[in-house]
Chain A
């Protein structure tokens, strides 16, 4: 008797389960079919393929992609761009592992090395922006208006807090080059290696308070929420070159090639004007050959 009841319960349960499974799978189908139903309304029904663009957190934080990616997808509706924003180190590693189709990063020597090692098809200049040194308004090391080398020497001598990205990113690489250019090996309690993204480090500099080096775009984007000011700018060594690399053996080589051609071609005008309406100055300077 009990066994029969149990059997019945199991039977009933199975029916309910199957009913649920059916409903959910139908719902799943409906969800999948939806775009196909709507698609003919658009002028050209296109089969979209995913294009993975690996780039850096600072580029993402600058807001450039919010303008650039929709413009690319308008020009090439057959591609759906997925931006993965990581440190330059991880972006280059994604290229080596073919986890990304195209890279847009800013560490020229390492980019050229990647191509030389056969992981990238080629590397082209795209644009540049510049770095700035920011710090608290009361400027305890007195670096305002100095050259980069003078400023770094002053910070190190006064042991004023300096927050480094410390994450092997393009910005961190550039910062390390500036220190070695000034002949300083930064170390000690005043030199904090945060290992975080540009936005996080700016917030930390603002909180601590301390100095840091940042790209201008990220700073201008976050300026309203920060308690640090631009203290050093315009020095030649603060120049930051971006390059594009289609990954060799990528999952979507046509898309990678199309993006590389576009970003060094038609996109140059988009890049040139980005930031003017919001900040009254462009954030990036296109310089593709």
Chain B
């Protein structure tokens, strides 16, 4: 009990003291997960729109793949990315055979971490977006089309209509990766000042036996998640005066 209270105090002290390495770690977490969620949205929102609004060959298969991907253990995503990017992996071999030079190190870098987080969050964004798009009444689309909307305009309208669901998709995806530890530990390597993020720092401090600091970092992570979700929720419900 004492440790719990002490770590709340410690969390505040760490934030106020302006510890540069702490702010570096927080910044890196936000940067990696922010870029990842942006890429996941760029892939997942259009794909989710297609799945939720169009019939096409193989849609069921895509749906099953996406749903399975939503349940993919992050550490398996991490392992897959690890094997792909390893110096003995296929990407390195391809590089070596094409350029004849030794490939640069790809593991233990930010792009590797982003790659893994995109793999984890894209199915989440896609699946939830598809569900949200699917629940938009078909009449809306028919009406838009009858008024002469292009398919681009129609898509914009439908996504706008389903924006709460789409935001929920983004929140789910972002929550999944900012709190994830197995994959970023594996492909990032938890290198101090380079690839160490909030979650891997928490694991490290707990392994060291610094339970108080580990918990304090946990509180800071929860605090950041709260602030971000607060902002996203505000966006989600903004401009809702025409609705219930």
Contact = CB atoms under 8 A, between A and B. Distances in A.
A94 B211 CA distance: 10
A204 B108 contact: yes
Contact of A193 (B191, B207, B209): B191
Contacts of A204: 107-108, 189
Pick from B87, B185, B194, B209 the residue with the most CB of A within 10 Å. B209
A195 B191 CA distance: 7
A195 B86 contact: no
Contacts of B210: 89, 93
B208 interface: yes
Interface string A173-217: 000000000000000000011111000100010011100000000
A168 interface: yes
Contacts of B105: 207-208
Interface size class of A (residues with CB under 8 A): 20 to 34
Interface string B191-203: 1111010001100
Interface size class of B (residues with CB under 8 A): 20 to 34
B204 interface: yes
A193 B200 CA distance: 13
Pick from B185, B190, B194 the residue with the most CB of A within 10 Å. B190
B206 interface: yes
A207 B207 contact: no
A179 to B, nearest CB: 15
A192 B194 contact: yes
Interface string B86-110: 1100000000000000000101100
A86 B196 CA distance: 19
A68 interface: no
Contact of B190 (A89, A196, A208, A227): A196
Interface of A: 86-87, 89-94, 166-169, 192-196, 200, 204, 207-209, 227
List 10 tightest A-B contacts by C-beta distance, closest first: A93-B209, A193-B192, A195-B204, A90-B209, A89-B208, A168-B208, A89-B209, A87-B207, A195-B190, A192-B191
Given A92-B209, A169-B207, A193-B192, 10 more contacts: A89-B210, A90-B209, A192-B108, A192-B192, A195-B207, A196-B189, A196-B190, A196-B204, A204-B189, A207-B107
